[in-house]
Amino acid sequence: MKITKQDLKNISLLSKIKIDEERSASLIEDLESILTMVNKMDELDTSKVNPLTHPIENTQTLREDIEKKDIEREKLQELSKEKDSGFYLTPKVIE
Amino acid sequence: MSELINLSLTDQIHGLADKSFSSREIADAYLDEIKKKKSLNCYISVFEEESKENALLADENIAQNKVRPLEGIPIAHKDIFCIKDKKTTCGSKMLSSFISPYSSEVFTKLDNAGAITIGKTNMDEFAMGSSNETSFYGNVLNPINEKLSPGGSSGGSAAAVRANLCSFATATDTGGSIRQPASFCGVTGIKPTYGRVSRWGMIAFASSLDQAGIIAKNAKDAAVALKYMSGFDQKDSTSLNEEVKDFQKEVDADQEHVIGIPKELIENMKNDQVRDSFKNAISILEKDGAKIEEINLPHIEYSLPAYYVIAPAECSANLARYDGIRFGHRSESVSSLEDLYVNSRTEGFGREVKNRIFIGTFCLSTGYYDAFYNKALKIRNLIKRDFDEAFKKVTSIAMPTCSNSSFELGSISDPVEMYEQDIYTIPANLAGLPALSIPSGKVNEMPIGLQLIGNYLDEGKILNLANKFQKLTDFHEFK
């Protein structure tokens, strides 16, 4: 399977990770080698098989809707470098 | 008191109960050993003072006969498990300053059982790796031969157990991350049934595959540790609301075994030494009374390709949360919101994690979703059906844990060659089955493991078989 420079641009855009020009060639090589291995799947006819998203068929368990205070908001926000009055701060998005 | 660190968990529990030694003495002995063997790089954090204080508290409890099951036993947690107010890095620059605001259920359960957390072990970044070389904190060395890899991603936990730096260690297994390092370091590692142990507070890699387990000196110790870490948890929507059997009793019970051998897979193995060693291990169990049945797992060869679509797809979604805003690494060089996302992620993730995010992103993108992701899920179903069929006539399935013993650090640069490390361990993750690895011989003077896969919720059965093997052999003894 061939990966083009355009594919790399799309992947970079979607994953929000920069791909340096000097890394492009070796990355294409890595990705192509992984996808070639993955293409072995094509040997199998799976047209009559259902996809299995999860190994265990388990009914979603629900708990009583009671408020818990296991994690405090202030403690969570301490983890952010930029915050103010309970809000998280990002660079300006509206001019 | 250095002999205390050589004792098994069960002997330590008995010794503490009959007051042959104190928890403080064991903790001090481990802490001394950790200092002596710092160069192995097993730990990302060590809680020296706190461990000593907790050991004294445990000794007080023992003196007052208020003894919990793991009272005063020093253990290590893989640095993927959140512990409140402690650094939890997941082996990544992204989380290198992350102080967890809450504790994982695994930590809480073992803590409530009386265990003392002596430190947090090194690991491949976000559990993505099979050699420990992707850790932001540098790789762990294999204690048996320091030029070699301890395996990954739970290499820190496996090496810490092997080097006598803790009584046992927690670990996680998405595609073999408990069993492969256990095989490389000559220790016992078990990944229970998917859902048996809560994933709450365990940093996610691929949520439908990730499962927490134990690395210990032997099957008996693993059974005791697993017993106290298993159980239903409301906070994990995939947790199984099933009774946890008493693995500690089961491991020693008189049980009959029918072991399934996937003949074709064994005959197709490239490494004769590994195959011969495997056959020798099976003949030991057969002589002891286990019945051997040939089985067929026709789709198992498609496990690796299916896994390397499903795991990266889930990883790309899970790791989307690292945006530089709420927690984790935040880039300093930022002029727009887009910059904040892109620069934080580009600086915070290492090469292998990026590779997996790229693969996952590609496989889930328009035009490729059906060809890759959906196809892989269908193959996952076929693999599960193969196992369901096999378990109609056998009580466990045996195969080697790895295709070889440990390799030299830095010797594998091709990603596919590295991924092939997990070729025999991945199938159990895709099907969600319990599986363990026990030392079963040596190849190139390094240990290799025998893998035993059990039916759903049948951890006790494979632990029992592993314990039988360890009663008949001494491969698990540290010499």
**Coil vs helix vs strand at B79:** coil
Give me the pLDDT at residue B58, please: 98
Choosing from B37, B78, B109, B217, the catalytic residue is: B78
Does residue B1 carry a pLDDT above 70?
no
Interface of A with B in 28-87 (CB under 8 A): 30-31, 33-44, 46, 49-56, 58, 60-61, 63, 70-72, 75-76, 78-82
**Residue from B82, B85, B375, B455 whose CB has the most chain A CBs within 10 Å, to mutate:** B375
Q: Which residues pair with A83 in a beta bridge?
A: A88
Give A90's pLDDT tier (boundaries 50, 70, 90): very high
Quickly count: other Cβ atoms within 10 Å of residue A48's Cβ.
Answer: 6
pLDDT at B201: 97
Other Cβ atoms within 10 Å of B35 Cβ, number: 11
Please give the residue that has the higher pLDDT: either B338 or A60.
B338
Cα A55 to Cα B15: distance, rounded to the nearest angstrom: 41
User: B51, B103, B153, B239: which one is catalytic?
Assistant: B153
User: What's the pLDDT tens digit per position in B364-377?
Assistant: 998 899 999 999 99
Q: Per DSSP, what are the bridge partners of residue B81?
A: B202
Tell me the average pLDDT across B443-461: 97
pTM exceeds 0.80 for this model: yes
- As a whole number of angstroms, the distance between CA B47 and CA B325 comes to 29
- pLDDT tens, B182-215? 999 999 999 999 999 999 999 999 999 999 999 9
ipTM summary value = 0.95
Q: B452 pLDDT exceeds 90?
A: yes
Residues B280-297 have pLDDT tens digits of 999 999 999 999 999 999
Higher pLDDT: B1 or B77? It is: B77
Q: Is the dihedral of CA A4, A8, A9, A11 positive or negative?
A: positive
- Give SS3 for B56: helix
Q: Do A91 and B346 touch (CB under 8 A)?
A: no
The yes-or-no answer on residue B177 being catalytic is: yes
Minimal C-alpha gap between B70 and chain A (Å): 25
Give the nearest partner residue to A55 out of B99, B379, B384, using CB atoms: B384
* Contact between chains at A17 and B375 (C-beta distance less than 8 A): no
Is residue B71 within 8 A of residue B60, CB to CB? The reply is: no
**Average pLDDT in chain B:** 96
Residues of chain A found within 8 Å of residue B345, distances taken between Cβ atoms? 15-17
